[in-house]
Amino acid sequence: MDTEITASKPLKIDTTFNTRDLGGYKTKDGKTTKMRAFLRSDLPAQITDYSKKVLLDYGVRCVVDLRSLAEVNSMPNPLRSIPEIDYYLLPMLDQTTSQGFNGKMPDHMGTVYIDLLNNSQINFGKMFHIFAQHKDTTNLFNCTAGKDRTGVTAMLLLNLAGVDSETILVDYEVTESNMHTVFEKQKVMIKEKYGIDVPDSVFSSERFQMEMAIDYLERKWGDAEKYLLDAAVSEEDIRIVKSMLVD
């Protein structure tokens, strides 16, 4: 009988709803991904001293922010100001949030994820090098909602760890329910501020969207390891990140 796959639960942190550990997932060879190695997250736009302490106590010492310069200037990441945390900005464009919802809206996010794999490969490579430099800490990576740019990053990490596609999709799908209240408020705000009706698909995390990215990754590169090697990530850095993910 197949065991039901359950997505990781969000940490209890003020003003974030989708800060989740990539640990606890089974790999194809029967191992389990390590806890406190990687946190995927939405943006902690405002954060209390209590939540800062929660993250520091959890082990977070490295934060990689995947938002565009415009997003960062509009809403700085408060984790950047914590002395104990090394903060890195690696801007990636998602055709929606990163452009202030002013561009042409995609029909669905699957094509955006494929564009990210193609057009942000260098920055994905830089990110995994950063991860390898912080092998003894918890690495947090975020965009705005923790769904798209963060979702592709989580997919690459879990694929590298040897986690199967079904588990990766379950991890991806739960974002929509975690962020539902926030997304509803964003829709109203964008309509009032910009006069733009954002398609529901932009806020969706239906599995077919990430399936497109996984299928494309496998067709073009084979797997995350080959993708990262093609992004100039060293074999040693890949070995280190793998060891961070699983024993």
Q: Express each pLDDT in 212-239 by its tens digit.
A: 999 999 999 999 999 999 999 999 999 9
- Assess if residue 15 is contained within a domain: no
Structure tokens at 225: 């390891």
- Assess if residue 9 is contained within a domain: no
Please name which of 62, 125, 60 lies closest in space to residue 92, comparing C-alpha atoms.
125
Whether 98 has a pLDDT exceeding 70, the answer reads no
For residue 246, what pLDDT band results from cuts at 50, 70 and 90? very high
CATH number of the domain encompassing residue 211: 3.90.190.10
Structure tokens at 198: 């954002």
What pLDDT does residue 46 have?
Answer: 85
For residue 97, what pLDDT band results from cuts at 50, 70 and 90? low
Count the domains in the chain: 1
Percentage of the chain exceeding pLDDT 90: 73
- Assess if residue 205 is contained within a domain: yes
- Assess if residue 247 is contained within a domain: no
Q: Residue 111: give the domain boundaries.
A: 20-242
What pLDDT does residue 43 have?
Answer: 93
- Assess if residue 7 is contained within a domain: no
- pTM score of the predicted model: 0.92
